[in-house]
Structure 1
Amino acid sequence: MPIVKLNCIVTFAASHFLTKYKGKCENLHGHNYKLVITIEDTVKENGMAIDFKDIKQIAEDKVLKIVDHRHLNDIIDNPSAENLAVWVWDKLKNDLPLIKLTVFETEDYYCEYEGK
């Protein structure tokens, strides 16, 4: 059976500030984050690798319920895009065949993490 890569996008809003950093982002501010969850899996007999709705539900249960409309500093130590990407990966890695996770803070600024 073929192996495919699937992408599922979920969004959430949260506030944070950066510690160990000097600049505008050391002040309290927020983002409308976008997560792109990329998995790789084999196409099954039903013609699908995994239902997109299942990916989204796992993300809801494991990540969004914790971070949406929350203050990330209460959840993640120094919640930079990089640290957020690692944290989200750790929350999803046991339930999904992840190959990449992309965290968009803005349309122009994002972090990609591949579990290394």
Structure 2
Amino acid sequence: MILIREFKFDAAHNLTAYRGKCERLHGHTYKLVVKIQGTPDSEGMIIDFVELKKIVEDSVLKKFDHSYINEIIPQPTAENIAEYIFKELYDVLKRDNCFLYEVEIWETADCGVVYRGEKGCN
């Protein structure tokens, strides 16, 4: 099974190694989708949605929400943001019955990235 939880955060960035309008400072309301693969535990859950929300808030949203992402990631493309968030969450979400399967980052309603980690990470 794969458990899914969505989050939103607002942040600004600019792409310094890019030539085009996105090299200028601008912002997005990002959608973050976290997917956990696993089997239900003795309580019938892969992971409690409340616990997952707290972990994502503490590990990611407190850093990213209303931030200038360039201060966290030098070239904050959607690809680099997804990889960074995956790496921040992977160890803290690892359990006997589940692991972080993938992270999606959506900059707009129709532009996003999926990151599933490096080969052998799961």
Q: TM-score normalised to the size of structure 1? A: 0.95
Indicate which of 66, 75, 79 corresponds to 2:76.
Answer: 79
Q: 1:60-71 alignment to 2 at 5 Å?
A: 60-71=57-68
Q: Deviations over 1:2-52 (max 9, x none)?
A: xx1100111100000001111110000000001000011111121111111
Residue 58 of structure 1: aligned partner:
55
Q: Distance in 1 between matches of 2:100 and 2:41?
A: 17
Residue 117 of structure 2: aligned partner:
115
Aligned length: 113
Deviating above 6 A after TM superposition, structure 1's stretches of 4 or more consecutive aligned residues are none
Q: Distance in 2 between matches of 1:101 and 1:13?
A: 17
Unaligned runs of 5+ in 2: 94-98
**Percent of pairs with identical residues:** 45
Q: 1:1-116 alignment to 2 at 5 Å?
A: 4-96=1-93, 97-116=99-118
Unaligned runs of 5+ in 1: none
Q: Distance in 1 between matches of 2:81 and 2:60?
A: 11
Bigger mean CA deviation after superposition, 101-110 or 49-58:
49-58
Aligned amino acid, residue 104 of structure 1: W
Q: TM-score normalised to the size of structure 2? A: 0.90
Q: Structure 1 residue 53: deviation in Å?
A: 1.1
Q: Structure 1 residue 56: deviation in Å?
A: 1.0
Q: Structure 1 residue 107: deviation in Å?
A: 0.3
